[in-house]
Structure 1
Amino acid sequence: MLPGIGVFGTGPVVKVLVPILRENGFKIEAIWSKILQDAQAAAKELAVPFFTDKIDDVLLRRDVDLIFVLCSPNLHAQISVKALGIGKHIVCDKPAGLNQVDALKMVRAGQYYPTLISVINHSFRFLPAFLHMKKKLEENYLVSPMTLIDIRIQCGSLFGDIDTFDWKCDDTMGGGALNLIGSHIIDLVTFLTNQKAVRVHGIVKAFTKHTHKIKGIRQITAPDFCAFQMELQNGVLVTTTINSHTVGSTFQQEIMICSSTAHLVVRGGDLLGRKGDKNAEEVIYLDVEDLKCPLPNSFLPKTFIKGLCKMVSALREAFLPVNEKAGWIKEPVCSAANFEDGLYVQAVLAAIRESSQTRQWVKVSIMTEQPDKNELLSAVVRRTAISMS
C-alpha cells in the first residue's frame, strides 16, 4: 500500500508535483505553509483535504508516512530531522538546508534511521538522457580519458513570477541561481562521473536588484548569474555558466563531456555523441516521450518536470508490497541523491561563494562535525559579506 503524503510548501514545484503523485497512485493527505491563508488556497486549488501552518499538525498525522519538504531551505533540516525521528520517509528539496551545518544534521538523522527513505530532490538524476549518458561513459564511449566537462545553462528571470519579496530573493535564505540551479549541476557531475570536486573557482553576481513588483527599500541579493570551475579528484576540469538574463527565453541546457577523441552532450533532453572521424554527431537518445499526467502552466523546465516524474515513479516502485516484503524498499531509489550527497553539494556551494569573494581557488572542505558557536558566527558574517558584495 502506498504511503499517505504530507507536503511542506505551496510554490510552483508543489503545484507540478501533486498531479504527478496522484497519477502514480499516491494520496496527498495534508499541506503546510508558513502562512495559513496560502495553505488554505493551495489546499483548495490542489484538492488536499487538510491544510495548516503548524509543522507538527502534518508530521503527527497517522495517515502521513512520506514527507515532501518543498519549503524555504531554513526549514529543511528542522522538518527532515523531526520527521525521520518519528518514522516518516523524506524527500527534501535542494539544496539540503541553508548550509553544511543544516546538511550535517540531516545526514546524522538519516544514518540513525537507515531503514527510512531520505533523499534530496535532484531530479536530473532520473532524466533518461543523463541515465543514457552515464551508461555510455561506463561503456567507454569516450575511448580516451575524460578531459573536460562544459556546462551552460540559460533561462529567463528567476524573479519574474514573484509578487512579493520572499526567501527566493535573498541569498542568505537559499535563493538565487547558484543554490537553485548550481546545486543540481554540482550533484549531476558527481552522479555522471563518480568524482567529487577538490577545489573550485567562481564568481557569483546579483545584477537584478529590483523588479516591477519587488521595489522600494528591500533589494534582491540572490544571484542571477554565476560561473564556476571545479577540479575533480581525477584532474578533470568542469566549467559551468548559469545565466538567467535571457529575456523571454525558455530553459536551455547543454552538458558536454569531452575526451581528446570524442564527446557526449545532452542538449535539452536529447543525448548526442561524436567520436573518431565522424563528420557529425550521432543521436544516441531522443527525448520523444510525452508526460503522462496533466500539469498546470509552469515556468519550470520540462527536463526538470520529466525527471521529477521518473523519480516519483521510482518512489512508487519502492513502496510496492513486493519490495516491502523483501526488505529492500530503498532499491528503486538507490540512484537518488541522499543526504550525504546534499552535504557535499553544500560544501561546494560554500567554497564557490568564498572564491567569489576572495577571487582565488578554494579547497572544498566537507564538514564532519558541528562547529562551535564562534565558528558559526564567523560563517554567518562571511556569508552576509559575500551576499552584499
Structure 2
Amino acid sequence: MLPGIGVFGTGNVVKVVVPFLREKGFKIEAIWGRALKEAQDVAKELEIPFFTNKIDDVLLRKDVDLIFIICSPNLHSQISVKALGIGKHVLCDKPAGLCQSEALKMVRASQYYPSLISIVNHSLRFLPAFTQMRKAIMDGFLGNEEEITVCDVRVQMGSLLHDYYDWLCDDTMGGGVLTLVGSHVIDLVSHLLSQRAVRVHGVVRTFIKTTKEINGIRHISSPDFCTFQMEMNKGALVTVTLNNHLPGMFNQEVIICGKGGHLVVRGGDLYRYKAGSSKEEVMYLDVEDLQKYGSINPIAANVIPRPYMKGLFKMMGALREAFLPVEDKRGWIKEPVASAATFEDGLYVQAVIDALRKSSANREWIKVEQILEG
C-alpha cells in the first residue's frame, strides 16, 4: 500500500509533483504553506483535503507517512529531522539546508533511523541520458578512472526570480543559481565520475540587484551567475558555468573527456565520440513525450526545465516502486531509489558550496572540508 503524502511548499514544483503522484496512486493528504491563505489557495487548486501553516500539523497526521519538502531551504533541515524522528520517510528538495551544520543534522537523523527512506531531490541522476552516460563511464568507454581528464558543464537559462520579493531573492535563505542549479551540477558530476572535489576555485556574482518589480529598501542578494573549477580526488578537472542572464531560453551541456574519447549530454540527448573516429555518434535521443506522465500545469512547465522535470518524474516513479509489496512481504524496499542522492551526498554538496563561496570572497583556491561535528 502506498503511503499518504504530506507536502511542504506551494510553488510551481508542487503544482507539477502533486498531479503526477496522484496519477501514480499516491494520496496527497496535507499541504503546508508559509501563509495560511497561500496554503488554502493551493489546496483548493490541487484538491488536497487538509492545509495549514503549522509544520507539526502535517508531520503529526496519522495518514501521512511520506514527507515531500519543496519549500525554502532554510526549513529543509528542521522539517527533515523532525519527520525522521517520528518515523516518516522524507524526500527533501535541494540543497540539504543552508550550511553544513544543518546538513549534518539531517545526516545524523537519517543514520539514526536507517530503516526510513531519506533522499535529496537531485533528480538529474535519474534522467535517462545521464544514467546511460554513467553506465558508459563505468564500462570504461573513456578509459579507467585515472584516464578521465576534463568535465565541462554549461547551464544557460533565464532568471530564477518571481515578479515579487521572496526567499529566491535572498542568498542567506538559499536563493540563487549556485544553490538551486549548482547543487544539481555538483552532485551530478560526483555521481557520474565516482569522484569528489578536493579543491575549488569560483567566482559568484549578483549582477541584477533590482528589477522593475523588486526595488526599494530590499535588494536582490542571490547570485545570478557563477563559474567555478573543481579538482577531483582521482585527477579529473571540472569546469562549470551557470548563467541566469538569458531570458526565455534553457540550454544545458555536460561534456566528459577521457583517453578513450568523450561523452556529451545536450539537453536530454547523449552523444559519444570514440578516439580515432571521424564524428560523434548518437547513444540516446530523448524522444519521450512529457505528456506520457499525465497532465502538467502549463505555467509550472514553463518554469521547470524539461531535463529536470523528466528526471523528477523518473525519481518519483522509482520512489513508488520502493513502496510496492515485494513477494509476500508487505512494506517497502530501498533498491529502486538506491541511486538517489542521500543526505550524506547533500552534506558533501553543501561542503563544496561553502568552499566556493569562500573562494569567491577570498579570490583563491579553497580546500573542500566536510565537517564531522556541529
TM range, normalised to the smaller chain? over 0.9
Aligned equivalents of 2:319 and 2:183: distance in 1?
A: 22
Residue 268 of structure 2: aligned partner: 269
Q: Which of 345, 365, 375 matches 2:369? A: 365
2:346 is paired with a residue whose SS is helix
Query: In 1, are the aligned partners of 2:318 and 2:336 still within 8 Å (CA)?
Result: yes
Query: In 1, are the aligned partners of 2:66 and 2:90 still within 8 Å (CA)?
Result: yes
Aligned equivalents of 2:184 and 2:347: distance in 1?
A: 13
1:195 is paired with a residue whose SS is coil
Aligned equivalents of 1:158 and 1:310: distance in 2?
A: 23
Residue 131 of structure 2: aligned partner: 131
Which sections of structure 1, spanning at least 5 residues, go unmatched? 371-389
Question: What's the TM-score, normalizing by structure 1?
Answer: 0.92
Aligned equivalents of 1:285 and 1:129: distance in 2?
A: 6
1:154 is paired with a residue whose SS is strand
Residue 220 of structure 1: aligned partner: 220
1:349 is paired with a residue whose SS is helix
Q: Which of 301, 304, 307 matches 1:300? A: 304
Once structures 1 and 2 are overlaid, which stretch shifts more, 306-315 or 18-27?
A: 18-27
Q: How many residue pairs end up in the alignment?
A: 367
Deviation track 1:232-253 (CA, whole Å, cap 9, x = no partner) reads: 001110000000101322x210
Question: Aligned-pair RMSD on alpha carbons?
Answer: 1.2
1:274 is paired with a residue whose SS is strand
1:231-246 pair list within 5 angstroms = 231-246=231-246
Aligned equivalents of 1:51 and 1:328: distance in 2?
A: 27
1:263 is paired with a residue whose SS is strand
Dislocated runs of 4+, deviation >3 Å: none
Deviation track 1:99-128 (CA, whole Å, cap 9, x = no partner) reads: 001000000000000000000000001000
What is the CA distance between 1:327 and its match in structure 2? Answer: 7.0
Residues 1:279 and 2:304 are matched in the alignment: no
1:109-188 pair list within 5 angstroms = 109-143=109-143, 145-159=147-161, 162-188=162-188
Query: In 2, are the aligned partners of 1:347 and 1:365 still within 8 Å (CA)?
Result: yes
Residue 55 of structure 1: aligned partner: 55
What is the CA distance between 1:66 and its match in structure 2? Answer: 0.2
**Distance verdict in 2 for CA 1:109–1:238, change over 3 Å:** same
What is the CA distance between 1:20 and its match in structure 2? Answer: 1.4
Residue 288 of structure 2: aligned partner: 289
Deviation track 1:125-151 (CA, whole Å, cap 9, x = no partner) reads: 100000000000011111361100000
What is the CA distance between 1:34 and its match in structure 2? Answer: 1.1
Aligned equivalents of 2:137 and 2:183: distance in 1?
A: 22
Aligned equivalents of 2:143 and 2:182: distance in 1?
A: 29
**Distance verdict in 2 for CA 1:52–1:91, change over 3 Å:** same
What is the CA distance between 1:328 and its match in structure 2? Answer: 6.2
User: Which residue type is aligned with residue 373 of structure 2?
Assistant: E
User: Which residue type is aligned with residue 202 of structure 1?
Assistant: G
Query: In 2, are the aligned partners of 1:264 and 1:271 still within 8 Å (CA)?
Result: yes
Residue 254 of structure 1: aligned partner: 253
Percent identical among aligned pairs is 64
User: Which residue type is aligned with residue 159 of structure 2?
Assistant: S
Aligned equivalents of 1:236 and 1:104: distance in 2?
A: 27
User: Which residue type is aligned with residue 158 of structure 1?
Assistant: L
What is the CA distance between 1:261 and its match in structure 2? Answer: 4.1
Residues 1:211 and 2:203 are matched in the alignment: no
Aligned equivalents of 2:296 and 2:243: distance in 1?
A: 26
Aligned equivalents of 1:190 and 1:327: distance in 2?
A: 31
What is the CA distance between 1:210 and its match in structure 2? Answer: 1.2
Residue 318 of structure 2: aligned partner: 314
Query: In 2, are the aligned partners of 1:152 and 1:254 still within 8 Å (CA)?
Result: yes
Deviation track 1:155-177 (CA, whole Å, cap 9, x = no partner) reads: 01112xx1321111001110000
Query: In 2, are the aligned partners of 1:24 and 1:312 still within 8 Å (CA)?
Result: no
Residue 344 of structure 2: aligned partner: 340
User: Which residue type is aligned with residue 355 of structure 2?
Assistant: A
Aligned equivalents of 1:246 and 1:34: distance in 2?
A: 30
Query: In 1, are the aligned partners of 2:84 and 2:116 still within 8 Å (CA)?
Result: yes
Residue 79 of structure 1: aligned partner: 79
Query: In 2, are the aligned partners of 1:323 and 1:329 still within 8 Å (CA)?
Result: no
Aligned equivalents of 2:328 and 2:72: distance in 1?
A: 32
